[in-house]
């Protein structure tokens, strides 16, 4: 059964006066879209309002996003000062993002760096990977390391060097390793919860106010495959 986040079951990984980091569930949308479903940003606002018994509007700034079928950690700013500084930090790629992915087929190498040129198609909300630069393409680069082998799947730890639309999904599919459940990029069947096995596992960044280095890790969702990978 799919569990969606609510103010009562929100998985808070870190909170202080300036930021709050939550573990996004599959199916949560970070910001409002045309579906009209309540976004995670509003759920976090309600959580803060209830927790601190705040009257009136709660300030919450969205710093970055994750695709709806993806799980993992998302950082929100609780003050405008924190939002401005975090936006700058993420824009300048002063953060280190690590993802876990469960893929079909073993990758070409146990560890490698992939470079492609991606072209986004807004009509069907996908990106296409090219080996060489083509018109309107953006360079995409990631490094991966296979850390677990299952019977029909492999688990990768991925470090992003660029931040492109659907980058991990698109680049892995381009080397014949679509992510489990990702019908949009070549998986042969969907997951029961409608999500994909891509998880924003770890984030290292400089706190926007205290300036200390923070590393936060998000537990994987509860399912048979993630449980096996995590142990």
Supply the mean pLDDT for the chain.
Answer: 94
pLDDT of residue 47: 97
Residues 171-226 have pLDDT tens digits of 999 999 999 999 999 999 999 999 999 999 999 999 999 999 999 999 999 999 99
Specify if 111 maps to a domain: yes
What is the chain written as a DSSP string? ------TTT--EEEE-SSEEEEEEPTT--SS--TT-PPPHHHHHHHHHHHHTT--SPPP-EE-----TT-EEEEEEESSHHHHHHHHHHHHTT-SEEEEEEEEES--SSSEEEEEEEEEEETTTTEEEEESS--TT-EEEEEEEEEEEE-SSEEEEEEEESS--TTHHHHHHHHTT-PBTT-GGGT-SS--TTS--SEEEEEEEEE-TTT--EEEEEPPPPSSHHHHHHH-
Exactly one of 16, 33, 42, 67 is catalytic; name it: 67
Specify if 7 maps to a domain: no
Specify if 211 maps to a domain: yes
- Return the CATH number at 108: 3.30.2350.10
Specify if 163 maps to a domain: yes
Active site residue 159: no
Specify if 4 maps to a domain: no
Domain span at 81: 12-230
Write out the two tokens for 6.
């609510």
The CA radius of gyration of the chain, in Å to the nearest whole number, is 18
pLDDT of residue 32: 76
Specify if 1 maps to a domain: no
Residues 3-46 have pLDDT tens digits of 889 999 999 999 999 999 999 999 999 987 777 789 999 999 99
How many structural domains are present in the chain? Answer: 1
pLDDT of residue 158: 98
Specify if 6 maps to a domain: no
Cα of first residue to Cα of last residue in the chain, in angstroms, is: 23
Instruction: Report the predicted TM-score, pTM, of the whole model to 2 decimal places.
Output: 0.95
């Amino acid at each position: 059964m799919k569990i969606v986040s609510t103010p009562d079951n929100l998985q808070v990984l870190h909170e202080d006066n300036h930021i709050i980091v939550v573990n996004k569930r599959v199916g949560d949308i970070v910001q409002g879209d045309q579906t009209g479903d309540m976004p995670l940003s509003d759920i976090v606002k309600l959580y803060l309002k209830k927790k601190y018994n705040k009257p009136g509007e709660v300030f919450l700034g969205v710093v970055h996003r994750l695709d709806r079928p993806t799980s993992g950690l998302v950082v929100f700013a609780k003050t405008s000062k924190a939002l401005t500084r975090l936006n700058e930090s993420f824009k300048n790629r002063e953060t280190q993002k690590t993802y876990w992915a469960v893929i079909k087929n073993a990758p070409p190498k146990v560890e490698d760096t992939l470079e492609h040129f991606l072209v986004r198609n807004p009509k069907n909300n996908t990106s296409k990977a090219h080996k060489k630069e083509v018109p309107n393409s953006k360079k995409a680069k990631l490094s991966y390391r296979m850390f677990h082998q299952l019977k029909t799947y492999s688990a990768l730890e991925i470090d992003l060097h660029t931040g492109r639309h659907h980058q991990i999904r698109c680049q892995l599919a381009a080397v014949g390793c679509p992510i489990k459940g990702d019908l949009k990029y070549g998986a042969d069947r969907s997951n029961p919860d409608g999500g994909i096995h891509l998880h924003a596992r770890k984030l290292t960044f400089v706190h926007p106010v205290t300036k200390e280095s923070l590393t936060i890790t998000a537990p994987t969702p509860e399912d048979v495959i993630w449980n096996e990978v995590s142990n």
